[in-house]
Structure 1
Amino acid sequence: MASGHSRNTYDAETRRRAVKVLASGSGHRALAAALGLPEATARQWARSYAVGGASAVMNAGATHRIYPFALKLSVVKDRVENGLSVRDVMIKYGVPSESSVKTWCRQYRDQGEGALIDRPRGRKPKQKAE
């Protein structure tokens, strides 16, 4: 494992080194070899870099973004019905998270368009007893 790796997170220095490798035009396999990363992590970072540049790699997972239904539907239709690759739809729609794209596609296949609609999260508010 790479230095700075603990609980599926990497320190800022490892991410900075990754950005340098990706900025040089190297692909995910070269990144994995150079930093001792798992290929899956290197591939995710390379795709994130292609979508959002250095900030997408440096801030990966730092914020939870909520995407509008229309954008999710467009991403899914291009991926499932038009055959675009995950990387291509990530770049086309500016979605830096590979897992989001894959989740939306799985939900769409299993449950249809309705599965992509945002629903309230968290605990339901308590109702006052009257």
Structure 2
Amino acid sequence: MTDFMHGAKYDTKTRHRAAKILATGVGHRALATQLGIPEATARQWSRAYAVGGQSAVMNAGAKHRIYPFELKLSVVKDRLEKGLSVRDVMVKHGVPSESSVKTWCRQFREGGEAALVDKPRGRKPKQ
């Protein structure tokens, strides 16, 4: 997974070390310090770890997941209406991606429930 803020890629060894450190209950700031990575990356990995353990850290960003509309709506309502933290929403709904949660909330604020409906990807079929 690329850290968009810093353009850095992290190898399997670094991610494995991160998962081992997170397993000890260390917070994201200490993780960042121990691994020499940006706090934003450490926070993302910490939240992913809270959702899916070691595999969530090891496979972060490896595949594009499609989530059902109902799940997205539940996530958004818990975050925006109930005031749950991003981390709590991620853990509650099993969504390992902080950016997905933030994107869905932004989409909902801008376009309501309809904005959460998946649009077909790729080229339109020829008529």
What TM-score bracket applies, with the shorter chain setting the length?
over 0.9
- Give the TM-score taking structure 1 as reference length: 0.91
- Amino acid paired to 2:65: R
Q: Which residue of 2 aligns with 1:91?
A: 91
1:82 is paired with a residue of what secondary structure?
coil
Q: Which residue of 2 aligns with 1:3?
A: none
Matches within 5 A, 1:4-19: 7-19=7-19
- Amino acid paired to 1:87: R
**Is the counterpart of residue 122 in structure 1 residue 122 in structure 2?**
yes
Gaps of at least 5 residues in structure 2 are 1-5
Q: CA–CA distance in 2 between the matches of 1:120 and 1:107?
A: 16
Q: CA–CA distance in 2 between the matches of 1:87 and 1:9?
A: 23
Q: Which residue of 2 aligns with 1:29?
A: 29
**Is the counterpart of residue 100 in structure 1 residue 112 in structure 2?**
no
Q: CA–CA distance in 2 between the matches of 1:123 and 1:8?
A: 31
Q: CA–CA distance in 1 between the matches of 2:9 and 2:64?
A: 16
Larger Rg belongs to: 1
Residue-pair matches, total: 122
Name the % identity.
76
Q: CA–CA distance in 2 between the matches of 1:117 and 1:25?
A: 36
Q: Which residue of 2 aligns with 1:48?
A: 48
Gaps of at least 5 residues in structure 1 are 1-5
- Give the TM-score taking structure 2 as reference length: 0.93
1:63-119 CA deviation, whole Å, 9 max, x = no partner?
A: 110000000000000000110000000000000000000000000011100000011
Q: CA–CA distance in 2 between the matches of 1:17 and 1:95?
A: 22
